[in-house]
Chains A and B, each alone.
Chain A
Amino acid sequence: MYKRSLHIVVLLVAAFSMLGAGDPSTRFDKIGHKLMCTCGCSEILLECNHVGCPNSTGLIQDLHAQVDSGASESAILTWFADKNGAVVLAAPLRGNFFDQTTWYIPGLVLVLGIVGILLLVRYWKGRLAIAAAAAPPPPPHTAAEDALRDQIRRDTQY
């Protein structure tokens, strides 16, 4: 039963991820936004607005040819990187170790920071608990003090 459910989930995820994958115009647009124009304008390939740009026209023709050939996205990006150098990619691929680290390091820093804060709070709370255990017990509250404290809290809340 669990196995069958798992199969269904895997199939659904696969189908979900493949939705629209066969549409060449969508792929062209998607991949074209992951490439840079190399004319020096520092713009995404499909956003380079220079009419007569010496580079973007050729790159776009290459992209059309690659998309029409039915190659996968990563294969197309790799093909462009091999032909024009890695500067043609708008973001690093996940190929070599260095490229992979570029994607993971920001998240890793955030996660390490969160863990650090949690550990710090735990340490501080531990120290507070030790200090509280060592301190003499406070005198019991009286009803008048409680009423006074409640009124102050109400009146000075804002």
Chain B
Amino acid sequence: MSHPMPSFGSFALLLAFVLSTYCLVIGTLSLWAIARKRQLAIPADLLRETARRAGLASFVAVFGAAFALIWAFTTDDFSVDYVLHHSSKALYWGYKISTLWSGQEGSLLLWSLLLSGYAFVLRLRHKNDVTLYAYASTILAGIQVFFLSLLVFKVPPFALVPGGIAPADGFGLNPLLQYPEMAIHPPMLYLGYVGFSVPFAFALGALMMRYPGEKWIAITRRWTMVTWLFLTCGIMLGMHWAYAVLGWGGYWGWDPVENASLMPWLGGTAFLHSVMMQEKRGMMKRWNVWLIFVTFMLTILGTLLTRSGLVSSVHAFAESDIGSWFTTFLVIVVCICLFTFFFHNEHLKSENQLESIVSRESSFLFNNLVLLAACFTVLYGTLLPVLSEFFTGSKITVVGPYYNKVMVPIGLFLLFLTGVGPLLAWRATSLRTIRRNFIIPCTAVLATALGLMASGVRPWKDDDPTGSIYALVCFSLGAGVITAITSEFLRGAGVVRTQTGKNLFGSAFLLTRRNTRRYGGYIIHFGIVLLFIGLAGAAFNQSKELEMGDGDSLALNGYKIVCQSFSQDSNPQYDTDFALLDVFHKGQKITRLTPERRVYFPDTDHAQVSTMVAIHSTLAADLYVVFEGRNADSGRPIIKVFLNPLVNWIWIGVLIVILGTALALVPPLLPASKRVEATLPLPSSNFAAGPGSAYASSALPASEVPRV
């Protein structure tokens, strides 16, 4: 027992695997017995309960394994191969914890831990609907068995170093990962990835048991929103990390790993919109089931693509030979989904049908179409190098220029729908309503376009007008969407003000509290518009590169950067080259920037270079300065300066999206619980005041329900 914690970790993983397998097998058996009303030696209800408890215990076991690995990192136990390859004695202790997910084995353990955590919460809340939760719990156990079998049999995180003799020090953590955002970016992303297992499990479970009604949608709505929120945060943190660390001046490189995170996000976004059709109108039931199936499959497919080495990625630290495992798992999932759907979909018939192309329902349909087209394009682009090699024998590269050309029109169409959708009424929209709702946003679009052209955005004067045309359209549409959202808030607040006598701000607040989901959604849309505006700013990026000695200066679009000095420094972790640059704007010194170039593990055979970008950030633009290296002959630094307009709008937009999602998760003010006697007799046939009518679902407090 020379290595107690790795042994404990290995045992905990094995135990978790056994418990999850028990939960899957016994859970399936008990649910089969209950569904078929079969008698077993032990009552099926009791078996189901033991399966649930085994599932709960598996979380404790996986947690124990993760704890053991973190313990090994924090105590520098280099007898563990994974610790040896991803940590070192000098590594800051905070990063020693984040090394858990810095490689293949650890990140799969994190995946398993998060999945068991989600399942733990789900199993604790089983009293909401014992049978549906039992189905979901069993399906989650099936997913968990897959990940644990990988950890137990294929990529054990506690494997000891060959020979069993621990080296004195480890190889250290990849310097690109030694950045605060990288400590939270992967867990956020994984919370998003893994979280889609929960709505998937509920959807599949509900389908298996032919669950009537929309309760599973109501149960999973919050799970899906939370998951979507985590994925959004994870993607944003990844973008910001790429922008601040990689030093190429951008935040999104259309790398397969980035694409793998975007695909389920697009699928999840489509699902979150589409379920509203099912809740409000009882439509799109089959579509919704498949949307969440596909979203879950995309998380597995993305992982398969990026970990199997099938497509090359700059995130090379995640590649390995586990592709065949993921392929097999994906095929099993697809088969189960197809089989279950084929035999159990009769109860998913729509209760209503679409009545007009100019309606809220059709806008949701188009929204789904555009999101899925975007998802397909990303998947297609990611797979193109493989497809090209297969069909033509030569591999092609597919990065920014391709995606920018095919994705931007799709994105602009989506932005257009973001503005149009909320202005349309359910079922059908009259011409009068269209005129009333659209006149102001359309005016805003035109005014913005004319204003921008007057202020100098003139694509017809550019050498390559595509980018600035797209930017012009994006800014104009963005103005239209913001105007539409604002007018919706004002119109609603006006009605509340008439009802309650509050001022406009109080009315808007009360309005939002009454329907947090709807107005939270509008805030999310507002954030998305800001994000689009920030993305469109890239059409006007500029850059310049110069070798700079003491006193040399570089001018870029009104900025002047003067090199005051450059020097070198060294510490136990890395050697660094840096330059001190004074930045002037309109003759005034505004800041001093210190871009760095670090060499980690110098004087070793695994030295790694990393840039520390210096950024002067304003709402208008980022001045982004990179120390690219030294000229080998002159010894002077080579500085590259980017001027990236509107980048901050992206981060602000995402923060607003997070705020809006958090708001949408807040329960609304309770609807009226007291029925009020009608003073008019209710007509029997053609007056729709039954369950689900406007009054039954009104969010008005009882005191405010008008007496009719």
Contacts and interface: CB of A to CB of B under 8 A. Distances in A.
Contact of A92 (B248, B249, B388, B705): B388
Contacts of B125: none
B645 to A, nearest CB: 17
Given A98-B388, A117-B369, A34 B401 contact: yes
A76 interface: no
Given A85-B394, A110-B413, A117-B366, 9 more contacts: A41-B314, A49-B640, A52-B632, A85-B395, A92-B388, A125-B354, A148-B680, A155-B705, A158-B495
Interface residues of B, number: 78
B26 interface: no
B479 interface: no
B463 A19 contact: yes
Nearest to A43: B248
Given A102-B384, A152-B695, A86 B394 contact: yes
Given A51-B629, A158-B515, A152 B397 contact: no
Contacts of B640: 49
Interface in A143-158: 144-145, 148-149, 151-158
A125 B300 CA distance: 38
Interface of B: 247-250, 253, 255, 312-314, 353-357, 362, 365-366, 369-370, 372-373, 376-377, 380, 384, 388, 391-392, 394-402, 405-407, 409-410, 413, 460-464, 491-492, 495-496, 499, 511, 514-515, 611, 626, 628-632, 638, 640, 680, 683, 685-687, 689, 694-695, 698, 700, 705-706, 708
A127 B461 CA distance: 52
| Interface pairs A-B: 10 shortest CB-CB | A51-B629, A20-B463, A91-B402, A158-B492, A106-B377, A156-B694, A91-B401, A124-B353, A110-B373, A113-B369
A48 B253 CA distance: 13
A16 B392 CA distance: 36
A139 B686 contact: yes
B396 A87 contact: yes
A50 interface: yes
A36 interface: yes
B495 A157 contact: yes
Given A49-B247, A139-B686, A152 B394 contact: no
A87 B311 CA distance: 13
24 contacts: A19-B463, A20-B462, A36-B399, A42-B255, A49-B247, A50-B628, A86-B388, A91-B397, A105-B380, A106-B373, A109-B373, A113-B372, A117-B366, A124-B354, A124-B355, A144-B680, A148-B687, A151-B708, A155-B700, A158-B491, A158-B495, A158-B511, A158-B514, A158-B515
Contacts of B630: 51
Nearest to A92: B396
A120 interface: yes
Contacts of A33: 401
Interface in A28-45: 30, 33-34, 36, 41-44
A10 interface: no
B399 A44 contact: yes
B694 A91 contact: no
B392 A148 contact: no
B395 A86 contact: yes
Nearest to A23: B463
A50 B407 CA distance: 29
Contact of A141 (B312, B380, B410, B686): B686
B590 to A, nearest CB: 24
A87 B630 CA distance: 29
A45 to B, nearest CB: 11
Contact of B402 (A92, A109, A110, A138): A92
A142 interface: yes
A121 B359 CA distance: 11
A31 to B, nearest CB: 11
A114 B638 contact: no
Nearest to B547: A51
A145 B687 contact: yes
Contacts of A19: 461-463
Contacts of B392: 96, 98
A149 B682 CA distance: 11
Contact of A117 (B253, B362, B495, B631): B362
A109 to B, nearest CB: 5
A19 to B, nearest CB: 6
A110 B376 CA distance: 10
B708 A91 contact: no
A17 B221 CA distance: 50
Contacts of A43: 248, 253
A130 to B, nearest CB: 11
Nearest to B682: A148
Contact of B357 (A20, A48, A90, A121): A121
A156 B314 contact: no
Nearest to A113: B369
B405 A110 contact: no
Contacts of A23: 463
Contacts of B372: 113
A91 B410 contact: no
Interface in A45-66: 47-52
B399 A87 contact: no
Given A30-B464, A50-B629, A149-B687, A42 B314 contact: yes
Contacts of B401: 33-34, 90-91
Interface string A90-104: 111000101100110
A9 interface: no
Given A19-B463, A49-B247, A103-B406, A151 B685 contact: no
A48 B505 CA distance: 51
